[in-house]
């Protein structure tokens, strides 16, 4: 029985790891953040819960006070209104209370803001992301430059691209050529645009930056686990704004080195080889 239970737990863990590899994409009726894939996003998620700890009690307190005032000071109960104009205790409370709350919110928010602009180490990979109406150009800043275009995958091209599984390659988010980066590596992204203002945003990474023509903005991320991560242009940039997805495939450093070497000569073949390798590994993990 112990072996059976242990085997079941192991199989569940393997299935979970295989499923969680395709980590972050929108889901139906989602009301919280996508699963965090970077330390910065973990901090953002924590800060959201921390602020809710203030927002909810303050909202309930205001609701209770409004209800009390409506009932206690209604015209039928107070035919002669009070002429009281000052209450020192109340005035001190409503002045000092908000100040303390703002201080308690300001300190961790400044710490988070500082961390967002301070990578833990020097970036080992730099990618220039140029936004166009309505796709992205990615240029890897390596010795032998690698650049390619990434556009939304058309439904009619799924079979030819080997991307028919919509749980992995969701409609309106899957692209023809993903940005590929290594896991547990600081990646710097230089963001700009060629025509109008766009925005580079990947929710699970906790990054978002406007892409402005003639200007370079910088974001960074260090992804903890391998998988697919999806984002979108988050600036209203024209009629096809909703069809400008961002797809990032995070792989092991070894897989990345193999992919980038092959992609410099044949990008489609490199992508297909990487996809086949990852899918084979996922099937093996699920089978075990």
Question: CB within 8 A of 44, min separation 6: which ones?
Answer: 33, 36, 112, 206
Strands 179-182 and 217-221: unpaired
Q: Which has the closest alpha carbon to 245: 151, 133, 147, 132?
A: 151
24-70 pLDDT, tens digit per residue, is 677 888 888 988 999 999 999 999 999 999 999 999 999 999 999 99
Percent helix, strand, coil in the chain, to 5, is 45, 20, 35
List helix spans (H) across 117-234: 158-161
**Confidence band, pLDDT 50/70/90 cuts, at residue 85:** confident
Gap between the Cα atoms of 203 and 201, Å rounded: 6
For residue 16, is pLDDT > 60?
no
Q: Which has the closest alpha carbon to 44: 226, 202, 231, 184?
A: 202
Domains present along the chain, CATH in parentheses = 39-77+89-117 (no CATH), 125-287 (2.60.40.420)
Give exposure, 52-81, as e/b (b: 16+ Cβ within 10 Å).
eeeeeeeeeeeeeeeeeeeeeeeeeeeeee
List helix spans (H) across 21-149: 39-72, 88-116
Q: Taking CA 164 as the corner, what is the angle to CA 161 and CA 170, rounded to the nearest 5 degrees?
A: 105
What's the pLDDT at 10?
40
209-234 pLDDT, tens digit per residue, is 999 999 999 999 999 999 999 999 99
What's the pLDDT at 135?
96
Question: CB within 8 A of 252, min separation 6: which ones?
Answer: 182, 183, 226
**Confidence band, pLDDT 50/70/90 cuts, at residue 4:** very low
What's the pLDDT at 32?
86
Q: Residue 178 corresponds to which tokens in the numbers above? A: 């993903």
**Confidence band, pLDDT 50/70/90 cuts, at residue 3:** very low
């Amino acid at each position: 029985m112990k072996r059976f239970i242990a085997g079941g737990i192991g199989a569940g863990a393997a299935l979970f790891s295989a499923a969680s590899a395709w980590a972050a994409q929108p889901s139906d009726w989602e009301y919280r953040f996508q699963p965090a894939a970077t330390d910065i996003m973990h901090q953002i998620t924590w800060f959201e819960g921390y602020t809710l700890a203030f927002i909810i009690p303050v909202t309930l307190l205001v609701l209770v006070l409004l209800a009390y005032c409506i009932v206690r000071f209604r015209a039928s109960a107070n035919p002669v209104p009070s002429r009281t104009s000052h209450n020192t205790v109340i005035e001190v409370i409503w002045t000092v209370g908000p100040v303390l709350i703002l201080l308690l919110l300001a300190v961790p928010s400044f710490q988070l803001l500082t961390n967002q602009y301070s990578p833990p180490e020097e970036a080992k990979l730099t990618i220039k992301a140029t936004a166009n109406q309505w796709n992205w150009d990615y240029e890897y800043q390596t010795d032998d430059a690698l650049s390619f275009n990434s556009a939304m995958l058309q439904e009619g091209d799924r079979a030819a691209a080997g991307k028919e599984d919509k749980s992995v390659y969701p409609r309106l988010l899957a692209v023809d050529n993903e940005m590929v980066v290594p896991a547990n590596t600081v990646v710097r992204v230089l963001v700009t645009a060629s025509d109008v203002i766009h925005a580079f945003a990947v929710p699970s990474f906790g990054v978002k930056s406007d892409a402005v023509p003639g200007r370079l903005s910088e974001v960074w991320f260090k992804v903890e686990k391998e998988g697919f991560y999806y984002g979108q242009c988050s600036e209203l940039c024209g009629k096809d704004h909703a069809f400008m997805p961002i797809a990032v495939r995070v792989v092991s450093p070894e897989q990345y080195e193999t992919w980038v070497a092959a992609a410099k000569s044949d990008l489609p073949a490199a992508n297909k080889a990487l996809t086949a390798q990852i899918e084979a590994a996922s099937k093996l993990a699920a089978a075990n």
